[in-house]
Amino acid sequence: MEELHPEAGAVTVRREVKAIGLVSGGLDSTLAVALLKRQGVLVKAVNFYTGFCITETQRRKGGRADGSVPRNEALRAAADLEVDVEYVDVSGREYLDMLVSPKHGYGANANPCVDCRVFMMRRAREIMEREGADFVFTGEVLGQRPKSQRRDTLRIIERDGGLEGRLLRPLSAKLLPPTIPERDGLVDRERLEAISGRSRQRQMELARELGLTDWPQPAGGCCYLTDENFSRKFFDILDSREAAGRERRLEREDILLLSTGRHFRLSPRAKLVVGRTEVENALLEHHVEGRARLEAMGLAGPVALVEGEATWEERQLAARIVARYGKGKELPEVVVEWREGDLVEQYPVAPEQDEALIESLRR
């Protein structure tokens, strides 16, 4: 990029400015990329997969219940804006341990939003250093989310993420202290935005100004951890393991199972997961090892797994619940097969009809 030197009249070349952008594919992060590209910044997009993104989990499981397959919005946004994108899976041991014991606590459900953002910023800083980039930016908007986008928590995320002075929020930049790239003239602060709050009106106007036409409609987030029902299952599995004298710990396998099927707590020692669709049945088949597998014989219905040590009474209860959700739910008796390692047993049971009991067990 050429510019005229004000004193000598000589033409000098401004060095290339490079930034790492956290891109979900939603409107806010897409706008942040577009704003910086408009200033000539070379953007590399990064999309982090935590294991708890609803649409990406649906993609990995083969689609939604209606058969549709959601698109990866981050890849779509990067293609539309013509920027490189790096897809980073962070759903490993370090991330899972953070989820169990977040320094800054949970939000309304099982969402450790501040700690999650700090985790991502640390990874983004590593990518920034590796790529020789000047700063990191996000589509965060001041005041849009009650826990992670307050003025104080935005500051905590920047500090604990190791990005002090180098974390730019283009959509709210004029409402926040100037960052190093703004102070050094790498980014023109006057061409950034001063958006705050939950209204998307300015974002919609800005999208029209920048010629953006394709983005997902906001739907309250794309994270299972913010969902009340999912959170109940999340804490249930941790609490039950702790009650059984086991370590309060999550495994990667748990992430997928928590978003699959109907969950029933049979006792502190045993849990039942019942598939709801053919896709979920197939997924449960891949996680039989170390668990008991249940299925009604001779009738279409769900595949189910029992994790833990179930008593005889709990096995019978699990069989009745499995029978309830199959084609034999109106029959007086259904034979449910229980397979656990080399053990194979058949339980003739009446499908469970006690609605109050079902609801009391549901997680």
Residue with tokens 């190093």: 180
Q: So what's the pLDDT on residue 219?
A: 52
pLDDT of 283-327, one tens digit each? 999 999 999 999 999 999 999 999 999 999 999 999 999 999 999
Residues, the chain, total? 363
Question: E strands, the chain, where?
Answer: 2-4, 11-13, 18-22, 42-49, 84-89, 135-137, 167-168, 262-267, 270-274, 292-296, 304-308, 334-340, 343-349
What pTM was estimated for this model as a whole?
0.88
Full strand arrangement of the beta sheet holding 84-89? 84-89, 42-49, 18-22, 135-137, 167-168
pLDDT of 101-138, one tens digit each? 999 999 999 999 999 999 999 999 999 999 999 999 99
For the chain, the average pLDDT equals: 92
The residues, any chain, with a CB within 8 Å of residue 210's CB and separated by 6 or more, are 31, 34, 35, 38
Q: So what's the pLDDT on residue 28?
A: 95
Q: So what's the pLDDT on residue 6?
A: 47
CA 161 to chain centre: 19
pLDDT for residue 147 is more than 90: no
Q: How far apart are CA 178 and CA 161, in angstroms?
A: 18
